[in-house]
Structure formats: structure tokens, C-alpha cells
Amino acid sequence: DEAIAHLKAIVDAHPDDMRAYLALGGVYSSKEDFRSAATLYDKAVEVLKTPTAANWNIFYQRGIAYERLKEWPKAEPNFRKALELYPDQPQVLNYLGYSWVDKNMNLKEGLAMIQKAVDLRPSDGYIVDSLGWAYYRLGQFDDAVREMERAVSLKPEDPVLNDHLGDAYWRVGRKLEATFQWNQARDLKPDPDVLATLQQKLMKGLPPIESNTAQETPKVKPEPAPAPKG
């Protein structure tokens, strides 16, 4: 791939330039080659002698790469390091908090992290959806409906958010509205795996709560977050 070859050459020529690692890692991630991304970010971290707040995104992206590889013990320390460098970074707060809640770990701290991310980014539909999904995972379905309705109003064209809202509606007994949201999600042309689960829900609804154990990857915006202030 021409873009990969070009960016590899830049990394080799400027091994201290973290922007080059992030650019190349972004290409790998867009191709879902998370192993190459993780290996690249490992190299970047080796180069970093003393990480500063400006380097939070290296650790964040490294954490995402390992999380997508289902290597959570390697992912989690990177999210923690990113927050150590930049404590008020909303995307990192959202990703780590959501991951904890979804894995049924550190529930109180995870929910607090997502709430903090929402406070920092109240108009980010994906982060608001994370808060709603956290409430859903905790069985607080009325709270989930409130946040997910707001998320869908902020991001009306994302099938995953409509899907989540449909699930929440179903749990509070609003089954007609749930079906409407699932139909809406289906019409927005979701990924094949999401589409398959939507078809099942439209035929059968949701299983009992004790069977609802599927984990999901946090929804994140593809573009990098802004650099830290100061």
C-alpha cells in the first residue's frame, strides 16, 4: 500500500516524530490491522524517553489497538497512562470507563469516568450514548432511555445509537418504539454483524435480562481528539 510505504519511510527518517507514528497507526487501524498498529505504538513508546501530556494519544491509540485484539491486560495500562498524562481527556475517559462497565469491572469508577466525559463533551453523541449504554448494562433502564434519546438527537444517522435506544425502550416496556428504532437502525445500513442482531430483535425482541451478556466495543469518533491545552 502506497500510503503505508510512504508513512513507514517518514517514521524511519524521523523516529522521534510521534505524529508520524499516529498517522501510520491510523492507516493500520482503518484497515483493521490492529496487530501492526500495536507493534508500531510499542516502538513509539520505546522511543519516548519521558512522555509528556502531548503524548497522551500514543498511549490511547496503543490501548485501543490492544483492546481490539482482545488483549485487555495490555490495553488497560495504556488507557491509565494516557489519563495520567492528560486527566481530563474525554475520549480516554469514555473508552476506559465504558470498557470497565461493559466487562462488569470497576463499575462505580467506570460510570463516574463516563459522566465526567459527558460533562466535558456534552454535545458528543457517541459519548452520551456510552453513558446511556453504561446505565443499560447496570440495569438502570430509565436512565439509559434518557441518555440514549439525547444521543440519537445529537447523532441521528448512526445505526448503533438507534439500536441501543431500541434495546433500552424494550427493557422499559415501550416495545412499539423499540421496534421503530431497530427498523431505523436497519435502514441506516449498519455493519453486517449489527444487521444480523437487528434482524433477530425484529423477529423475536430481546431475550430475558439474565441472557443479555454480549459485550460491545465503545463507539469512538474516527478523528483524533484535540491536543491538550497548556
* Residue 102: predicted pLDDT: 86
Looking up cell 519516548 gives 48
Residue tagged 436512565 (cell numbers): 143
Give the SS3 label for residue 218.
coil
**How many domains is the chain built from?**
2
Owning domain of residue 33 = 1-83
Residues 34 and 139 in one domain: no
pLDDT of residue 49: 84
Q: What is the rounded distance in angstroms from the CA atom of residue 151 to the CA atom of residue 148?
A: 5
Q: Within a 10 A sphere around the Cβ of 34, how many other Cβ atoms?
A: 19
Q: Which of 18, 51, 83 is the last residue of a domain?
A: 83
Domain edge (last residue) among 62, 83, 104: 83
CA–CA gap between residue 43 and residue 215 (Å, rounded): 30
222 in the same domain as 167:
yes
Spatial distance between the Cα atoms of 193 and 122, rounded to a whole number of angstroms: 29
Summarised one tens digit per residue, pLDDT across range 66-88 is 999 999 999 999 999 999 999 99
In this structure, the answer to whether residues 38 and 123 fall within a common structural domain is no
Q: Report the predicted TM-score, pTM, of the whole model to 2 decimal places.
A: 0.84
Residues 6+ positions from 20 with CB-CB distance below 8 Å: 7, 10, 11, 14
Of 68, 83, 98, which closes a domain?
83
The CATH number for 60's domain is 1.25.40.10
pLDDT by residue for the chain (230 residues), tens digit each? 889 999 999 999 999 999 999 999 999 999 999 999 999 999 999 999 899 999 999 999 999 999 999 999 999 999 999 999 999 999 999 999 999 988 989 988 999 999 999 999 999 999 999 999 999 999 999 999 999 999 999 999 999 999 999 999 999 999 999 999 999 999 999 999 999 999 999 999 999 986 444 455 555 543 344 343 43
Return the pLDDT at 219.
Answer: 58
